[in-house]
């Protein structure tokens, strides 16, 4: 009896003959591709950016979580390559889509990158292939959007090809959790698709959790980050309340966190950023609206979180007013513009909104970030605007001549003790200044 497509794929995976292709070589795709290549599979990465493919093929990584030495070793062993030629998809037994899924300015899902990748795959789809979508999207994308595209080729699901969804769970800059030790959720459009995709991922991750459908897997991803967004929203609202009541927010959270059950600590900040938390709740609420459901809780959290840049600017204004200074003409120095510490990613970073607001009030804004050399404001998906900025050198003179320093991102390599001794006013949005730093400070400190 002839083998099914699932059986053929599993045999190919077990013998390491399976050729794995990854479409999109960013924070998700490149670590995934290198992990498959590291485990003995032939890996090909597909990109539209020729500069990225050139760097990879020369043995250089542009992603902080992937060492260039590993990339070079895998390239030299001919287990890893990158290309802009999508015809090489014909050579792949498994193709994993890891492209961006931003929001339009209307806050609706933008799946154009997924569609573009799927169109390239559709042109080269052949019997025996497994296609997996990892890009975060709304429930139903895999079987309502991708499946009809692939079936339009005349090939049949389960008989000729398999299709699944497995949400990415990358946490850039986290040395504790990386691809191999983050459990992988997998849901196929059919049971055979689930089995094959789960078996593929089991070669590179310690734990695979299979679910009953692609829709469940898609929704699980949105729940994970909506859970975080809602709880961060609660922490942000508490921070604003504590500021009004003249209570230390961070001390309140530390006290509550001593309870060994029923409480999980979430922390306030200048806003939410990155590739997941600011976007994923909108994908879920958008899908809810298509079915006549008003996800009010999610909307309220988004409203609270989106107001935090305004609150940060208010803290700056209050601090300057206490020094008899106006916002207009004041020199404001931001420490950190990445959306989280010790990485170079500024996607959806609240720093962009804060800079935009400060500029609109007439402040002279500069920034220092050891990971981000330049920030631009011409991204179609951000409301911020204005001339680009480049990171300045953090000299004593730059700090001391600033009217206010705002800690937006608490990067590890910054000497905060020096900042608190040189700056006249510091607004700390990340609790970067602990007790000793505050006690020994000559600066006036305002904390979120």
- For the annotated catalytic residues, the residue numbers are 276
Q: Which two three-digit tokens encode residue 117?
A: 């990748």
* 400 phi/psi in degrees, rounded to 5: -70, -30
- Give 246's DSSP letter: T
Distance, in Å, from the CA atom of 7 to the CA atom of 20, rounded to the nearest integer, reads 17
What are all long-range contacts of 33-41, with beta carbons under 8 Å and residues at least 24 apart? Answer: 33/80, 34/66, 34/70, 34/71, 34/74, 34/80, 35/179, 35/180, 35/204, 36/203, 36/204, 37/74, 37/79, 37/80, 38/70, 38/74, 38/204, 39/203, 39/204, 40/16, 40/79, 41/16, 41/79, 41/203
Distance, in Å, from the CA atom of 366 to the CA atom of 336, rounded to the nearest integer, reads 11
Closest CA to 281 of 298, 294, 269: 298
First to last CA, the chain: 68
Helices and strands in the chain, H and E counts: 17, 15
- The two beta strands, 374-375 and 364-368, are unpaired
> To the nearest 5 percent, what fractions of the chain are helix, strand and coil?
40, 15, 45
Q: Give the contacts of 229 (CB within 8 A, at least 6 positions apart).
A: 272, 277, 278, 280, 281, 298, 301, 302, 305
Distance, in Å, from the CA atom of 289 to the CA atom of 281, rounded to the nearest integer, reads 12
């Amino acid at each position: 009896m002839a083998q099914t497509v699932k059986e053929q794929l599993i045999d190919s995976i077990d013998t390491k003959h399976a050729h794995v292709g990854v479409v999109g070589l960013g924070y998700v795709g490149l670590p995934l591709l290198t992990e498959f290549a590291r485990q003995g599979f032939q890996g090909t990465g597909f990109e539209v950016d020729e500069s990225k493919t050139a760097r990879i093929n020369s043995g250089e990584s542009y992603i902080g979580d992937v060492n260039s030495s590993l990339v070079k070793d895998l390239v030299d062993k001919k287990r890893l390559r990158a290309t802009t030629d999508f015809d090489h998809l014909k050579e792949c037994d498994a193709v994993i889509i890891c492209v961006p899924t931003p929001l339009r300015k209307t806050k609706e899902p933008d799946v154009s990158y997924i569609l573009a990748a799927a169109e390239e795959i559709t042109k080269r789809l052949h019997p025996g292939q497994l296609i997996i979508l990892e890009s975060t999207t709304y429930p139903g994308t895999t079987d309502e959007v991708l499946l009809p595209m692939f079936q339009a080729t005349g090939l049949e699901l389960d008989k000729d090809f398999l299709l699944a969804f497995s949400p990415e769970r990358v946490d850039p800059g986290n040395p504790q959790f990386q691809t191999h030790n983050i459990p992988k959720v997998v849901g196929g459009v059919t049971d055979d698709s689930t089995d094959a995709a789960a078996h593929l991922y089991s070669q590179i991750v310690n734990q695979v959790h299979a679910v009953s459908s692609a829709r469940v897997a898609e929704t699980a991803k949105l729940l994970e980050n909506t859970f975080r967004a809602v709880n961060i929203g609660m922490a942000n609202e508490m921070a604003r309340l504590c500021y009004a009541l003249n209570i230390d927010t961070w001390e309140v959270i530390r006290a509550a966190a001593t309870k060994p059950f029923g409480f999980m600590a979430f922390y306030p900040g200048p806003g939410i950023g990155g590739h997941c938390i600011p976007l994923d709740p909108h994908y879920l609420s958008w899908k809810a609206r298509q079915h006549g459901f008003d996800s009010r809780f999610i909307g309220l959290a988004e409203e609270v979180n989106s107001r935090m840049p305004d609150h940060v600017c208010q803290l700056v204004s209050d601090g300057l007013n206490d020094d008899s200074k106006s916002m207009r003409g004041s020199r404001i120095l931001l420490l950190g513009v990445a959306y989280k510490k010790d990485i170079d990613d500024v996607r959806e970073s609240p720093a962009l909104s804060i800079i935009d607001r400060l500029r609109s009030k007439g402040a002279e804004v500069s920034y220092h970030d050891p990971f981000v050399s330049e920030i631009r404001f011409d991204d179609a998906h951000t409301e911020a605007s204005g001339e680009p900025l480049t990171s300045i050198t953090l000299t004593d003179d730059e700090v001391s001549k600033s009217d206010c320093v705002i800690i937006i991102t608490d990067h590890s390599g910054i000497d905060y003790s020096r900042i608190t001794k040189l700056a006249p006013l510091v607004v700390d949005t990340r609790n970067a200044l602990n007790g000793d730093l505050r006690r020994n400070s000559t600066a006036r400190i305002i904390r979120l």
